[in-house]
Chains A and B, each alone.
Chain A
Amino acid sequence: MARYISRRLLELVIVFFGVTFVIYCAVFLLPGDPIAALGGDRPLPESVQQQLRLRYGLDLPIWQQYLDYLGGLARGDFGTTFAGQSVGEQMASRWPTTIKLALTAWTLTVLISIALGLAAGLRRGSALDRGVLLGTIVAESVPIFVMGVMAQYLIGITLGWAPIAGVSDGWPRAYLLPALIIALYGLAGVSRLMRGSVIDTMRSDFVRTLRAKGMSQGNVVGLHVMRNAAAPVVNVLAIQLGSLLGGTVVVEAIFNINGVGQLLYKAIQDQEGTLVVGVATTLVFIFLVTNVLVDILSSVLDPRIRHD
């Protein structure tokens, strides 16, 4: 086990450097000149642009820029944007918002999909089962921005049940609606998995034995089916958490939530290289670490999975 973990961690480091370097090159190779664009349609004087290029080392070869960046990173310095803002500060102010949003969405996915999956699995073939299937498929099929904009107008403006912009109302009020929209997209998969899991468990020999012994339906479900069925679902949910963080871009844009998704999207548009690399790197890092943790966790939980 220890060997497996250390091997995965070593791979993680290699993948990490690989991804950051690729991102770094990609951003700096994008067509366009971020310095020339700084003033928008009122461009900066040539001398000012030149000073900025010097200041941000844009005249150096790309490998040197990357090494300088890594050097700064080692000192805990994420660098600054071309407009002079600290990348570290920007991320520090935005990450909590996105993490809150992602965790809320994730919790909603867990709660709703387990409930739906359980209900559908226990009443397999019923109208309820079909309804859950159809409902989750519809929710997943409508593009997220269409759903977001519609929810904003219907629930936010027409009904006035939830704020439609910003997070100034705090958690949970301001986060629920956007989180629900994000959660809708995980429902179909996870509830289906849960349903299958429940059906499998219900059919298994030990559940049959328990029921033959006269255990009530409620106890069987509560004590055994839930626990057995949950194992594969937990695995998927854990992976989903990692991708949720990066997948909030659209919802953040619609609901005016100043999270990292927004930050990344704008940074790409303005070609703020250090900002893009900083945000993307942290996203990749979280994704990789979650992946490793999930693999380790599942091998601990399920001894059938062996890695050596």
Chain B
Amino acid sequence: MRGLLKGAGAASVAFALVLTGCSTAADGGEGAPAELVIGSSDPVPNLVPGRQSNAFGLVMSVFSPLTFLDAEGELSYVAAESVESDDQITWTITLRDGWTFHDGTPVTAQDYVDSWNTVAYAPNAFENSGQLAVIAGYSDLNPAEGEPATDELSGLAVVDDLTFSVTLNQADSQFPVELSQAQTAFYPMPPSAFDDLDAYGKQPIGNGPFAVTTGWTEGEPIVAERYQDYAGDEPTVNKITWVPYSDRLTAYTDALAGNVDIVRLPANRMKQVADDFADDHIYSFSGPAISYLSIPYWDARFDDVRVRQAISMAIDRDAINEALFGNLNSPATAWTPSIMPGNPDGICGKYCEYDPQAAAALLAEAGGFEGQLTIHFPGGAGHDDLFNAVANYLRQNLGVDAIARPSVGWAEFSEDRNNEVLDGPFFARWGALYPSQQSTLRAVFTSAPGCTNCGGAIIPEVEQALNDADASGSEDGEAYAEAQRYIADQFPIVPLFEESYNFVTSDKVAELTASAAGEPLFTDVILAED
């Protein structure tokens, strides 16, 4: 029996090789076995796609999304054959035929519906459940008080094995984009997952190019190997190992020693990386993320728009980018990063340009600033140098008593922010999961769930402009740029930097490609020849 199974396995491997014409290192003949070692420095409590929040690279290798956005913002279909709608409210998703999960079961429309219901059901308390909030019935599964009466999203309906329909709460032209790779709550789970979701979270079974062969154990590497029956595009590597590190700096140090192939560049090494690694081993991808210096709208000292503009003009973004980020980020010129389609670059105008004299004059015109100006930011996350630099600029250029104060961690910072008790400007950042201005603007500047209190007082015109843009269905982002005009007028918060997602690689990696989410595609890494 055992011999028989073994034979069958070998045959299927051989079959897959013939089928794909793959003759890389898998046959063991050419030295390097096409393996990658990736340093992951974030804790991995759970790999259920509806729960993970810091294992994007891994989950994106083990699962395949319905739609895919490449670095140029071009949308293509992966697991879905089509995503269509006439009214932008009811969408029909048709799956490609012949796809299987790593346990061999076929991927069906029912699997998607079951998975999404599980993610959205409040008592499961799945971290990524908010990504499904656009679907009709989400609020029934997430009542403000008590247990929900139903465990099924009313907006989902299975049409046949490969087709299902999704009804949204309101028209949303961005829905196909929202289904793209980084919104992992939309990934499907096989029927076996629902028996024991905790076990599944340690060793997920996906529909992607890689199958997890060594699941998660505290402090141990996770290993995934090529899934031979994968129906999508062939990956370029055969085996990926994620080695856990306590922080990015340690991972980076180990990459210097040559022990790991791909690691994320820690913020405090941006300046130094050019000395440590060869140019072609450093990758800097524009990310859909932007950082702000948020203004506490509950503090009357900041009521005058000129005070906020003066603060913005007193900060030399170029000097900070040069001194602290090694020019890897870019100074922001709008309230969303320029990677977003149709982004109104430069809408911030002269107020995002460094002009200390004008800043001081503007502040004086507004009546000056009373008392201490304390900048708050979450401690332990590597933001210290940035906000100390900002405080120095405000102190030296505006003559205010500015200091930067870190909190213990996120717990303290987010509570103080949510409860409006921060007594000065504070750190805010939004890393969008899909590159559309809609994602960032909604999260930061409206009452929709997102970065609470980050966008200053809510401007009604912005919310209205966003709703109009959602319904208009234009794909160039022009309509969303309209909303930023109101933001530029009111100047509620100060945009700081568009972020890049940076990585360093070993000699083994010849080319790293990014997806639109700024995250590299581990499945498409081109390995060096030797």
A residues bordering B, Cβ < 8 Å?
A: 30-34, 36-48, 50-52, 55, 81, 83-85, 89-90, 93-94, 97, 152, 156-157, 160, 163-166, 168, 252-258, 262, 266, 268-271
The answer to whether B512 has its CB under 8 Å from any CB of chain A is no
In the complex, which residues of chain A have a beta carbon less than 8 angstroms from the beta carbon of B418?
Answer: 33, 36
In the complex, which residues of chain A have a beta carbon less than 8 angstroms from the beta carbon of B409?
Answer: 32, 37, 269-271
Q: In the docked arrangement, what's the CA distance between A47 and B147, Å?
A: 10
The answer to whether B367 has its CB under 8 Å from any CB of chain A is no
B residues bordering A, Cβ < 8 Å?
A: 43, 45-46, 53-54, 122-127, 129-130, 133, 142-144, 198, 201, 217-219, 243-247, 250-251, 253-254, 256-257, 259, 379-380, 407-416, 418, 428-431, 449-452
Nearest CB of B to A239, in Å:
29
- 19 chain-A/chain-B pairs, Cβ below 8 angstroms: A32-B410, A36-B418, A37-B411, A38-B127, A41-B430, A43-B414, A44-B129, A45-B449, A51-B122, A51-B124, A93-B219, A97-B219, A157-B253, A165-B251, A166-B243, A258-B244, A258-B246, A269-B410, A270-B409
- Contact B125–A51 (Cβ < 8 Å): yes
Nearest CB of B to A157, in Å:
6
Q: In the docked arrangement, what's the CA distance between A48 and B413, Å?
A: 20
- Contact A47–B452 (Cβ < 8 Å): no
In the complex, which residues of chain B have a beta carbon less than 8 angstroms from the beta carbon of A39?
Answer: 53, 127
In the complex, which residues of chain A have a beta carbon less than 8 angstroms from the beta carbon of B414?
Answer: 32-33, 36-37, 43
Chain A binding surface SS class: loop
In the complex, which residues of chain B have a beta carbon less than 8 angstroms from the beta carbon of A48?
Answer: 122, 125-127, 129-130, 142
Q: In the docked arrangement, what's the CA distance between A184 and B174, Å?
A: 60
Whether A41 touches B429, Cβ cut-off 8 Å, given contacts A36-B418, A93-B218, is yes
- Contact A164–B254 (Cβ < 8 Å): yes
Q: Which of A32, A55, A84, A165 contacts B245 (CB 8 A)?
A: A165
Q: In the docked arrangement, what's the CA distance between A253 and B142, Å?
A: 40
Nearest CB of A to B416, in Å:
8
Whether A269 touches B408, Cβ cut-off 8 Å, given contacts A39-B53, A164-B253, is yes
In the complex, which residues of chain B have a beta carbon less than 8 angstroms from the beta carbon of A41?
Answer: 410, 428-431, 451
Nearest CB of A to B264, in Å:
15
Q: In the docked arrangement, what's the CA distance between A30 and B6, Å?
A: 57
Residue of A with least CB distance to B220: A93
Whether A90 touches B218, Cβ cut-off 8 Å, given contacts A31-B412, A40-B410, is yes
Residue of B with least CB distance to A153: B253
In the complex, which residues of chain A have a beta carbon less than 8 angstroms from the beta carbon of B46?
Answer: 83-84
In the complex, which residues of chain A have a beta carbon less than 8 angstroms from the beta carbon of B45?
Answer: 81, 83-85
Q: In the docked arrangement, what's the CA distance between A31 and B414, Å?
A: 11
In the complex, which residues of chain B have a beta carbon less than 8 angstroms from the beta carbon of A89?
Answer: 218
Q: Which of A32, A90, A165 contacts B412 (CB 8 A)?
A: A32
In the complex, which residues of chain B have a beta carbon less than 8 angstroms from the beta carbon of A252?
Answer: 246
Whether A46 touches B449, Cβ cut-off 8 Å, given contacts A33-B411, A37-B411, A40-B53, is yes
Q: Top 8 A-B pairs ranked by shortest CB distance? A: A32-B411, A32-B412, A47-B142, A256-B250, A83-B45, A37-B410, A269-B409, A33-B415
In the complex, which residues of chain B have a beta carbon less than 8 angstroms from the beta carbon of A157?
Answer: 253, 256-257
Nearest CB of A to B214, in Å:
14
Q: In the docked arrangement, what's the CA distance between A252 and B247, Å?
A: 11
Q: Which of A32, A42, A271 contacts B53 (CB 8 A)?
A: A42
Nearest CB of A to B510, in Å:
25
Q: In the docked arrangement, what's the CA distance between A37 and B451, Å?
A: 11
Nearest CB of B to A149, in Å:
10
- Contact B130–A44 (Cβ < 8 Å): yes
- Contact B126–A47 (Cβ < 8 Å): no
Nearest CB of B to A30, in Å:
8
Nearest CB of A to B124, in Å:
8
- Contact B122–A36 (Cβ < 8 Å): no
Q: In the docked arrangement, what's the CA distance between A258 and B413, Å?
A: 26
Q: In the docked arrangement, what's the CA distance between A38 and B51, Å?
A: 11
Nearest CB of A to B15, in Å:
36
- Contact B142–A45 (Cβ < 8 Å): yes
